[in-house]
Structure 1
């Protein structure tokens, strides 16, 4: 099992940071993400909405399972190739001075027998770059100037 935990304080208000990170179009700023967006069959952004994306070596479909703007949202990968057993990911947004403290936690298991032991110890760098909002992705996504619209 892999447990990812990333924290970052961004120089922008919580509502802007929340909206920017919840919009899957912005995942395209991450390394190896080729395309991302709302699924064609998705309800409007919010609870129950479906995000999809393609990255080098990964396709994913996520459902927003909790949505409390601008405080937090939780997503669950409900489909992917290669397959992941995803226990969920939650992003929490807390005012911090003139900015926003973002806390992101996600837990998953890669069930493929041949790779399972390696993935449980440490996900390969290719996964860190393609798995949504991993630490590498977060560093690029959480650029304060992008979020603040500057």
Structure 2
């Protein structure tokens, strides 16, 4: 497994940052994201616990389920299906108030589910996953600037 462990402070209120990052339809404005579909709404809110969402990029197609939704503190998700195939532990995005805004901590473990050379494929693919997370955070930061 490889870890994605990224922290970033966004100069906006915690509730605004939480709302932006947990509403995957915002990801449609992220470079290279082709399509985002809410496959199934959550139990209490569209992108809350129980929601299933599909995110399509040129290199990834992810179907995720939100397994914990605790505004404005935490969202946890798990991968249901992906192309290329990934093994994935639960991922999480946590939000903490800090001087100057909101500290976002995005954490996930994954590996390529290939029958051979899984380690090499995972190491090669990790920068794509990390880059995607940075693009999401950059877009959120840009759009939340001045709130």
TM-score tier (shorter): 0.7 to 0.9
Residue 45 and residue 121 in structure 1: after superposition, are their counterparts in 2 closer, same or farther (change >3 A)?
closer
Residue 14 and residue 62 in structure 1: after superposition, are their counterparts in 2 closer, same or farther (change >3 A)?
same
Residue in 1 that maps onto 2:135: 137
Q: CA deviation at 1:120?
A: 3.5
Q: Structure 2: give runs of 5+ residues left out of the alignment.
A: none
Aligned length, in residue pairs: 144
Q: CA deviation at 1:97?
A: 1.5
1:5-16 residue pairs with structure 2 within 5 A?
5-16=5-16
Q: CA deviation at 1:118?
A: 1.4
Residue in 2 that maps onto 1:19: 19
Q: CA RMSD in A?
A: 2.1
Q: CA deviation at 1:119?
A: 3.0
Deviations 1:23-71 (CA, angstroms, capped at 9, x unpaired): 11122233321111311x3333211111111110321110001111000
Distance in 1, matches of 2:136 and 2:2, equals 16
- Native 8 Å contact 1:17 1:148 kept in 2: no
TM-score calculated relative to the size of structure 1: 0.84
Q: CA deviation at 1:85?
A: 0.8
Which residue of 42, 45, 48 corresponds with 1:46? 48
Distance in 1, matches of 2:70 and 2:36, equals 22
Residue in 1 that maps onto 2:143: 146
1:105-124 residue pairs with structure 2 within 5 A?
105-123=107-125
Distance in 1, matches of 2:104 and 2:6, equals 8
Residue 114 and residue 129 in structure 1: after superposition, are their counterparts in 2 closer, same or farther (change >3 A)?
farther
- 113-122 or 55-64, larger mean C-alpha shift: 113-122
Q: Structure 1: give runs of 5+ residues left out of the alignment.
A: none
